[in-house]
Structure 1
Amino acid sequence: MAAATTWSSFFLITDARPAHASCIPRERDALLAFNEGINDTDGYLGSWQQGGRRQHCCRWVGISCNKVTGHVTQLDLGQSFLVGHINPSLISLEHLEYLNLNGTGITGPNGVIPEFLGSFQSLKHLDLSEMPAFSGILPRQLGNLTKLEYLDLSTSNSAVYSTDVSWLSRLPRLVYLDMSYMNLSSIPADWPLVVNMLPSLEYLGLRGCSLSSASQPLTHLNLTNLQHLDLFYNNLSHPIASSWFWNITSMEHLNLDETYLYGAFPDALGNMTSLMSLRFSHFADSVTIVYPTTMTVDLKNLCDLERLTLDESLSGGNITEFIDNLPQCSSNRLQYLAMHSNNMVGMMPTDVGKLTSLQLLILSHNNITGPIPPGIGDYTYIEYLDLAHNYLTGSIPPHIASCTRLVHLLLSDNRLSAHIPSKIGMLRNLTELDLSRNSLDGEVTREHLVISRA
């Protein structure tokens, strides 16, 4: 996962080659025993051999050692396409701080994550993500890894499950935790209380975990460092305001896509001044009827907000009021605003151009009326502009020719009339222009420009 790459930077991965100390014979033997249970068809572990110059295991691929003591501190076999079994001999690596088996076909006995992984008392980084051979219950013994700072258990096969995550509370140093697509449907509803006991946590990935609720109230907030929360694709289905995370002002990225939370967004959202990205889209027919949702929150102080995605999620609202509530900071950073199919009404405000950093604006499939304001020409960074399937009237403002970075301009299925501004043909980056199903006249011709007029 991309996010995992970002947070792994806190634990430096080095290709240490000890200049003085040799590897410990007992640890070398443990690695050789592990190698015996591995099917290495690509010869990735070709350097793992006994005798001669190969005696120095700290020079083997994927192995790093302490330069002074010679103890093995890192075992990094991620994305190596190895298959086989994790041999308990690895317990001899008592000083192991970093273990990465990401993307391999390595597994434990009977396909489960082995309990003995909880024996690595020095471990700070454990990555068991995207390991398709794993299945069964997640061992509670991972709670013994009290020095752990990074834990990635994310998967894509949902064959690994847990009925209790209380053991996480014994990992107070965790900075990064990803359990995405693991089956957590049977864990107690008070799981947020467990997460709240991880004061160092910055990243929490729980997408697609079959969680049924995120409404547990937190009387005392310990998650003062949490920056990234991903709850995508969990059918939470309770009032959005009752969720536990709205008072976390350190939050930078919040993904609530396809969570089916409903009701009014809480005013506390307006106090999340560190927020850079908020995603709350449903992409399901009639979802706003079953789960009516509104957003009238004042977001004017969210000066760091760069991305706001609300596609197919709101049951209505006034576009003028909504835009007036967007960040109004001297340095406006909002670059991405997507709100198609939200039953929005009203007219676009005349000062719409205050969002000067916008690169993408999607307001299609709403009930917006009135003219396209001339202020649209102030979007000098805009690349994608979609106002299709509304009730816009009047002409296309010639000021749109100031949007020199436009690549896609979609204005179909409106009630636009008058002459098409000839200056549109001068937008050299424009590759798609859809003006179909309007009452416009005139022509725009330019080589390599796809134009829809029918």
Structure 2
Amino acid sequence: MSKKIMSSCFMKLFYALVLLLSNAAGPVLSAEIKCIESERQALLNFKQSLLHDYGMLSTWRDGDNNTDCCKWRGIQCHDETGHIQLLDLHGDRYADAQYLEGSINLTSLIDLHNIQHLDLSNNFFLGSHIPEELIGSFTNLTYLNLSYSRFEGSIPCELGKLTHLQYLDLRNNYLYGELPFQLGNLTHLQYLDLSSNDLNGEIPYQVGNISQLRYLDLSGNSFSGALPFQVGNLPFLHTLGLAENFDVKSKDAEWFSNLYSLTILRLDSFRNLGSSHHWLQIINKLFRNLRELRLVDCSLSDTDLQSLFYSGSNFSSSLAILDLSYNMLTSSSFQLLLNISLNLQELYLSHNNIVFSSSFFPSFPSLVILDLSYNNMTSSVFQGGFYFGSKLQNLYLLNCSLMDRSFLMSSASIMNYSSSLVSLYLSSNLLKSSTIFYWLFNSTSNLRSLYLYYNMLEGPIPDGFGKMMNSLEVLDLHDNKLQGKIPSFFGNMSRLQILDLSNNKLNGEISSFIENSSWELIVSEICS
């Protein structure tokens, strides 16, 4: 065998051995990867700037074999490099009561150059600003959520450098000033929510450059001027939320019609909506494809509603959610609402001027949620055997001046949908008789949430109530005039999680049947 052949065979064997060893060592080497020390210190410095973390960052500490920050809560590192890619510290100020609090030092995170996902939503960062130098250095970010965390100040123009960003949520903060035109550089952005801040000035036309945008919500701000026609260049936009009075002209109806993917339109506090022929024309053109339409606090009257949906050819078969809360509608609008869509699943009519009568109320066979709160129900709406629909799950009748007679005579009507009813809100009415408890467990056996607070209910809670209503998860009876002994059956309601008996005239021991229970109990001032 020649030396050349022997050399060739040797080299092949050598490379095969190297490849074999590298493959075998690969998983071991990856398993040894730990977080970068500079990034670990950045996290500890961030924690140090907080006033409270309420247990959220209990794993963020030195010692006790806990130095690998890739194993800390809310952290995800790259499998090979160890660099932090994800930081998810979203809080929950209500259910879990876990959130971050303090005027935080966000610049302490500046060493996290490789981060792609940052979520600091639902925390309490009162007085904190969004630092320009920090945002400008996070050029790999694809997801940024700072919503509901009480950030202050302006939106830094450096956001325009995050050209990989696909999701940006800054809603419900205290941000002010004009919207930076550099947002137009975010050509990969699909979700943009700036709602419920105090932003002002005109909407920059560069927003129309974000061609991949699917979701845009600018409501709850103080923008002025016209909505730029370049917004019509967003072919994938399916959700648009606006508020206050953007100027529109007849030509705007044309570019609005280019939003052929739009299925959700929300217009809040457009006080001149009814008098604006151009807005009515725009909505009417879009209406055929809409699945959700919210016209809240727009001073709409029955006549305006009629003008809005004047053309029968544009009535929608796709509309599933309609919110007309906080307007000036009366009973005359009901028949028109029925004609709008037979497929309505959610209908919100709270805070209007509706005086209910069964002769005015149409049937909505697909309805799942119905909110009639803050209207007048002292008439005979429940006595005509009218039919909400067999699919109704959530019924809101708060503050409707509902009295015992008009409600209890409605048993035959409400029995029509009682098998599907899951949540019933009857709070802040004029209900007095505890007979309502008997009615409830004879007609709504699948109920999970029952709210009867702020009524005038008198007498005892009947013993059979707990046995028949054992599906209840929430029972709120606070601020009534209920009397007698606290029923022991509460201890047998295995699904009950929240029980509020406060501010009644009940008496007796409650501790004997709630021992070892996971309920959230509110029983203060239950005795007279």
- TM normalised by structure 2 equals 0.58
In the alignment, is the contact (CA less than 8 A) between 2:44 and 2:61 conserved in 1?
Answer: yes
Cα deviation for residue 225 of structure 1 reads 2.5
Matched, 1:216 2:230: no
Cα deviation for residue 358 of structure 1 reads 5.9
In the alignment, is the contact (CA less than 8 A) between 1:20 and 1:68 conserved in 2?
Answer: no
In the alignment, is the contact (CA less than 8 A) between 1:124 and 1:150 conserved in 2?
Answer: yes
For 1:138 and 1:181, the matched residues in 2 are separated by 14
Question: 2:172 matched to which residue of 1?
Answer: 155
Matches within 5 A, 1:291-330: 293-295=304-306, 296-297=308-309, 298=312, 302-313=316-327, 319=333, 322-323=336-337, 325-328=339-342
For 2:123 and 2:382, the matched residues in 1 are separated by 54
Matched, 1:22 2:34: yes
Instruction: Say which SS state the counterpart of residue 178 (structure 2) adopts.
Output: coil
Cα distance, 1:90–1:145 mapped onto 2, change above 3 Å: same
Note the residue ranges of structure 2 that are not aligned, 5 or more in a row.
1-29, 92-98, 402-408, 430-438, 452-463, 466-528
Cα deviation for residue 401 of structure 1 reads 6.8
Question: 1:95 matched to which residue of 2?
Answer: 114
Cα deviation for residue 118 of structure 1 reads 1.8
Matched, 1:123 2:153: no
For 2:257 and 2:72, the matched residues in 1 are separated by 48
Question: 2:482 matched to which residue of 1?
Answer: none
In the alignment, is the contact (CA less than 8 A) between 1:251 and 1:272 conserved in 2?
Answer: no
Matched, 1:164 2:179: yes
In the alignment, is the contact (CA less than 8 A) between 1:178 and 1:203 conserved in 2?
Answer: yes
Aligned with residue 202 of structure 1, among 214, 217, 236: 214
In the alignment, is the contact (CA less than 8 A) between 2:208 and 2:230 conserved in 1?
Answer: no
Question: 1:251 matched to which residue of 2?
Answer: 262
In the alignment, is the contact (CA less than 8 A) between 2:176 and 2:197 conserved in 1?
Answer: yes
In the alignment, is the contact (CA less than 8 A) between 1:376 and 1:399 conserved in 2?
Answer: no
In the alignment, is the contact (CA less than 8 A) between 1:318 and 1:344 conserved in 2?
Answer: no
For 1:23 and 1:397, the matched residues in 2 are separated by 65
In the alignment, is the contact (CA less than 8 A) between 2:207 and 2:230 conserved in 1?
Answer: no
Cα deviation for residue 376 of structure 1 reads 3.7
Q: AA paired with 2:166?
A: E
Which of 195-204 and 166-175 deviates more? 195-204
Question: 1:440 matched to which residue of 2?
Answer: none
Cα distance, 1:122–1:318 mapped onto 2, change above 3 Å: same
Cα distance, 1:398–1:139 mapped onto 2, change above 3 Å: closer
For 2:55 and 2:368, the matched residues in 1 are separated by 50
Instruction: Say which SS state the counterpart of residue 216 (structure 2) adopts.
Output: strand
Cα deviation for residue 167 of structure 1 reads 1.5
Aligned with residue 236 of structure 1, among 239, 245, 250: 245
Cα deviation for residue 145 of structure 1 reads 0.8
Note the residue ranges of structure 1 that are not aligned, 5 or more in a row.
1-17, 390-395, 413-422, 433-446, 449-454
Question: 1:10 matched to which residue of 2?
Answer: none
Cα distance, 1:399–1:211 mapped onto 2, change above 3 Å: same
Question: 1:74 matched to which residue of 2?
Answer: 86
Name which structure has the greater RCO, CA cutoff 8 Å, separation 6+.
1
For 1:364 and 1:51, the matched residues in 2 are separated by 58
In the alignment, is the contact (CA less than 8 A) between 2:233 and 2:258 conserved in 1?
Answer: no
- Deviation string 1:235-276 (CA, Å, 9 cap, x unpaired) is 317569857756534334332232324235226545445533
Question: 1:177 matched to which residue of 2?
Answer: 192
Q: AA paired with 2:140?
A: S
- Deviation string 1:148-177 (CA, Å, 9 cap, x unpaired) is 112122234x3x212232111011122222
Cα deviation for residue 93 of structure 1 reads 1.7
Instruction: Say which SS state the counterpart of residue 53 (structure 1) adopts.
Output: coil
Instruction: Say which SS state the counterpart of residue 83 (structure 1) adopts.
Output: coil
Q: AA paired with 2:169?
A: D
For 1:136 and 1:385, the matched residues in 2 are separated by 38
Cα deviation for residue 100 of structure 1 reads 2.0
For 1:237 and 1:74, the matched residues in 2 are separated by 38
Higher helix share: 2
- TM normalised by structure 1 equals 0.66
Question: 2:389 matched to which residue of 1?
Answer: 379
Question: 1:275 matched to which residue of 2?
Answer: 290
Cα distance, 1:95–1:339 mapped onto 2, change above 3 Å: closer
Matched, 1:360 2:377: no
In the alignment, is the contact (CA less than 8 A) between 2:227 and 2:248 conserved in 1?
Answer: no
Cα distance, 1:167–1:47 mapped onto 2, change above 3 Å: same
Q: AA paired with 1:257?
A: D
In the alignment, is the contact (CA less than 8 A) between 1:230 and 1:254 conserved in 2?
Answer: yes
- Deviation string 1:185-236 (CA, Å, 9 cap, x unpaired) is 2x22x44x333322222222323212235x43526723233233333xx431
Cα deviation for residue 97 of structure 1 reads 0.5
In the alignment, is the contact (CA less than 8 A) between 1:278 and 1:307 conserved in 2?
Answer: yes
Instruction: Say which SS state the counterpart of residue 66 (structure 2) adopts.
Output: helix
Question: 1:55 matched to which residue of 2?
Answer: 67
In the alignment, is the contact (CA less than 8 A) between 1:271 and 1:302 conserved in 2?
Answer: no
Cα deviation for residue 141 of structure 1 reads 0.7
Cα deviation for residue 95 of structure 1 reads 0.9
In the alignment, is the contact (CA less than 8 A) between 2:33 and 2:79 conserved in 1?
Answer: yes
For 2:329 and 2:272, the matched residues in 1 are separated by 12
